[in-house]
Amino acid sequence: MPDLSIIVVAYNVKDLMERCLEKVFASEGHFQKEVIYVDNGSSDGSAEMVGQRFPEVVIIESPVNLGFIRANNLAYTKATGEHILMLNSDAFVGKNTLQKTLDFMKDHPESGALGCRLIGEDGALQVSARYFYTPWKLFLTRVGFEKTIWKMDDLDCSHEEVRECDWVPGCYLLARKAVIEKTGFFLRSDYFMYNDDIDLCLRIKRSGYKVFFFPEDVIHLGGANSKRIEMVTEKGWQIEKYALESQYIYFRKNYNFFYALSHCLMIVSFDLLRLIKQVLFFRKSEIKSQWEHLCLACSLFMRTRGGTRGSVNSDGTSDPGTRRKPDEQKPDDKKKVMFENLREDLKTYQGDVLAQGFWVMRVYRFGRWRYGIRPEILRPPFSLLYKILFKLVQVFTGIELPCEATVGKNFTIEHFGGINISGYASFGDNCRIRQGVTVGLRNTDHPCAPQIGNNVDIGAGAKLLGPIRIGNNVNIGPNAVVIEDVPDNSSVVPIPARIIPMGSGLNPKNSKTA
């Protein structure tokens, strides 16, 4: 068993990844390590560069941006080390950093997690040892009173000695795997990005272990992946949305509903005060932005059901708060797409408007269509109607197809009853789903449901568990439980599930147990 499993997740930051891994493999020490890299749908050749420059790295390529948290969870399922290190692609370790921090963890069995002293390339100290925050602390920070007895950070204290703290940033977060297992899971998959580090440290401390700050320098550029996302979203609005959503989830999951509600109310109060100020001073350019932020805070609270769930799809898109870019669908385009989907569903079900599958798809399409309603303040009535229709479909057909799932063309549900599809699932074109199928589990800790290729036939009773990839032209037989990737042109036969290449027959000698 390796002493250390290093998990690095990146999205379109090829140069930083190269520099980060160079520093990791230049580290000195007498420990064994494994490095797991998750390429989060990058298009800049990051995965190819890592494979060529660092062949010892375990590479997991995702076709879409799973988000930082779900990608880390995916890597965690492959990690075998005694300790787990979350390392950002824009964080660079020194030659002895890994050895020193590992030695400290081994010498202090009461330690559950550890972080280092973060500095910029200019040597400026960054926040490295933090206090747990509350809605009140966040509100004071917003209004400019962060340096009070309720402060969240303290850069004035000594950063030259080891000390216990509440939590450490996730750009360099070292934790014992055994302690993580005691908390129940690694990172909370409801988050897309942000608040994973404070959430993990809180669970570790509640399990009876300590979180330490260690005075060893780690250079941290700060927010490289976030800046990359910000470049491809209008005014970086997605970043603010991810942060707000994660805060709601953090308060609801770790405390209670009133924490999440009070946080929402304080944001609304602050936004209203600023809005009044901007109206009084006739700052037209800022009035619209402030009003949109207020609406975003309220709508996110409702769409996450007060912080009980996340709202981001497995492909990195998010239904709530997603803002239309100028070149995206205009109102006329929405009508066109709506009629195209209707025509496609009629063709799929051969014009049978009484088919249950046709109405399941109608409710699914309506659920996705409502996210395009602007302004967002008009959307809640349609969301309520969708929830009612979704529950009716679930009761009368036994089918659960949430609008967060993505389906390709000619997606067909042939039989009814006992069909449960995770909101993170993604299906290719010409997929057929038959009775009693579970695609992903609602209550699983896996970061996402399986990704299904094109022309896939999923038979009755099949269960596809966790973050696996089903290739193109695959047949999955009845009562099969699939727990690993299925390559193209394969069949999966009943329990114990076996993967069999097409044309090889059912000879066990040619099969591979899943």
What tens digit of pLDDT does each residue of 340-352 get? 778 777 877 777 7
Does residue 284 sit in the same domain as residue 165? no
- Cα 483 from Cα 455, distance rounded (Å): 20
What tens digit of pLDDT does each residue of 135-180 get? 988 888 888 776 666 677 776 777 888 989 999 998 999 999 999 9
Does residue 467 sit in the same domain as residue 496? yes
Instruction: Assess if residue 124 is contained within a domain.
Output: yes
Does residue 271 sit in the same domain as residue 409? no
**Which of 112-116, 413-417, 467-471 is most confident?**
112-116
Task: Give the pLDDT of residue 327.
Answer: 35
- Cα 73 from Cα 191, distance rounded (Å): 11
Q: Which domain holds residue 90?
A: 4-227
CATH number of the domain that 406 lies in? 2.160.10.10
**How many Cβ atoms sit within 10 Å of the Cβ of residue 96?**
13
What tens digit of pLDDT does each residue of 208-241 get? 999 999 999 999 987 444 444 444 444 456 778 8
Nearest alpha-carbon partner for 43 in 25, 55, 61: 61
Instruction: Assess if residue 310 is contained within a domain.
Output: no
Nearest alpha-carbon partner for 190 in 438, 463, 446: 446
Mean per-residue pLDDT of the chain: 80
Average pLDDT over residues 445-469: 71
Does residue 187 sit in the same domain as residue 158? yes
| H/E segment holding residue 114 | strand 111-119
Does residue 218 sit in the same domain as residue 254? no
Instruction: Assess if residue 238 is contained within a domain.
Output: yes
pLDDT at 361 over 70: yes
Average pLDDT over residues 381-388: 88
- Mutual angle of helices 331-348 and 356-369, in 10-degree steps: 160
Instruction: Assess if residue 318 is contained within a domain.
Output: no
Instruction: Assess if residue 313 is contained within a domain.
Output: no
Query: pLDDT class for 303, splitting at 50, 70, 90?
Result: confident
Task: Give the pLDDT of residue 208.
Answer: 93
Of 397, 429, 462, at which residue does a domain stop?
A: 397
Burial class (CB in 10 A: 0-12, 13-18, 19+), 412: middle
pTM of the model: 0.61
Percent of the chain with pLDDT over 90: 28
172 three-state secondary structure: strand
Task: Give the pLDDT of residue 495.
Answer: 53
For the chain, the first-to-last Cα distance in angstroms comes to: 24
Query: pLDDT class for 444, splitting at 50, 70, 90?
Result: very low
Average pLDDT over residues 8-33: 91
pLDDT at 499 over 90: no
**Which of 42-46, 236-240, 319-323, 479-483 is most confident?**
42-46
Average pLDDT over residues 46-55: 91
- Cα 25 from Cα 231, distance rounded (Å): 30
If phi > 0 it is left, if psi is from -120 to 50 it is alpha, else beta; for residue 161 that is: beta
Task: Give the pLDDT of residue 349.
Answer: 76
Instruction: Assess if residue 317 is contained within a domain.
Output: no
- Cα 480 from Cα 7, distance rounded (Å): 32
358 three-state secondary structure: helix
| H/E segment holding residue 112 | strand 111-119
Does residue 41 sit in the same domain as residue 72? yes
Query: pLDDT class for 478, splitting at 50, 70, 90?
Result: low
Does residue 423 sit in the same domain as residue 488? yes
What are the residues whose beta carbons fall under 8 Å from the beta carbon of 294, sequence distance 6 or more? 267, 268, 271, 272, 275
In single-letter form, the type of residue at position 318 comes to S
Average pLDDT over residues 457-469: 73
CATH number of the domain that 204 lies in? 3.90.550.10
Does residue 47 sit in the same domain as residue 189? yes
Question: How many structural domains does the chain have?
Answer: 4
Instruction: Assess if residue 32 is contained within a domain.
Output: yes
Position with higher pLDDT, 426 vs 335: 426
Does residue 65 sit in the same domain as residue 154? yes
Of 199, 227, 255, at which residue does a domain stop?
A: 227
| H/E segment holding residue 24 | helix 14-25
Instruction: Assess if residue 168 is contained within a domain.
Output: yes
420 three-state secondary structure: strand
Does residue 18 sit in the same domain as residue 101? yes
Beta bridge partners, 458, equal 433, 476
Does residue 54 sit in the same domain as residue 199? yes
What tens digit of pLDDT does each residue of 277-299 get? 888 877 777 787 788 888 888 88
Burial class (CB in 10 A: 0-12, 13-18, 19+), 26: exposed
Does residue 73 sit in the same domain as residue 89? yes
Lowest mean pLDDT among 25-29, 97-101, 409-413: 409-413
* CB 453, CB 459: distance < 8 Å: no
Nearest alpha-carbon partner for 473 in 436, 501, 444, 445: 501
